[in-house]
Structure 1
């Protein structure tokens, strides 16, 4: 009676699992790159849309300023989720795009706009009710 070793089967199964894990990692990296590329296209326009509304003098403006400020400096300006709930759907989508973009972008979102840092300081002054 011959006893057949199960080692070749085990090695083959482990090799296949390693291959599958590597494929999954590569797929995840490809998805991250695709998402980052998509956000690089959509992010600046969404930021400009929020900044444009934030420059106004409405309730939506105040909420957009606070959302942008929370992306700019969340320690000083924590994000209050209610602000996302009270703005219109288009602005909600823009806000979520900018939030996600800020996670993938190499620089801070305001740095992609000329004068973006000063604009954020102006928004902070408005929200602090400073002159």
Structure 2
């Protein structure tokens, strides 16, 4: 069994902080690609819409992770990038968009 030292923990934290700008950039770009998919009317749109609602308010909109299997590779990768972005959220997902509250209310009407 590996016992992590305090130095190991700090090294991991510093590494994560160094990677954070790239994680944020990739996550925001993925979020911008995913939203229009969620606003369409396809099977993948429903998965993306429910995924975004789950990030917005998980207790109100639980999301079954096995639904991600229904996505093509590019959309799946975008979801993972958004999850990495939201792992240490600087802001809520809907706030990356002007009128994000209204947009997410529309998603709720369609996909909740």
TM-score range, shorter chain: 0.7 to 0.9
Tell whether the 8 Å contact from 1:47 to 1:98 is kept in structure 2 after alignment.
yes
The whole-number CA distance in structure 1 between the counterparts of 2:81 and 2:60 is 21
**Does the alignment pair 1:124 with 2:111?**
no
1:104 deviation in Å? 1.6
> What's the TM-score once normalised by structure 2's chain length?
0.88
Q: Distance in 1 between matches of 2:111 and 2:97?
A: 21
Distance in structure 2 (CA, Å) of the matches to 1:35 and 1:75: 29
2:51 aligned to which of 61, 67, 92: 67
Q: CA deviation at 1:22?
A: 4.2
Mapped to 2, the partners of 1:92 and 1:101 lie a distance apart of 14
Partner of 2:19: 35
Following superposition, the deviation at residue 29 of structure 1 comes to 1.4
The correspondence for 1:102, drawn from 86, 89, 112, is: 86
Provide structure 1 residue ranges, at least 5 long, that are not aligned to the other structure.
Answer: 1-19
Report the RMSD for the aligned CA atoms in angstroms. Answer: 1.6
Tell me the alpha carbon deviations over residues 32-87 of structure 1, each in whole angstroms, 9 at most, x when there is no partner. 20232222111111111110111111111111100100111111111111220001
Q: TM-score, normalised by structure 1?
A: 0.76
Higher RCO, 1 vs 2 (CA within 8 Å, ≥6 residues apart): 2
Which ranges in structure 2 are unaligned for 5 or more consecutive residues?
none
Residue 45 (structure 2) pairs with residue 58 (structure 1):
no
Larger Rg: 1
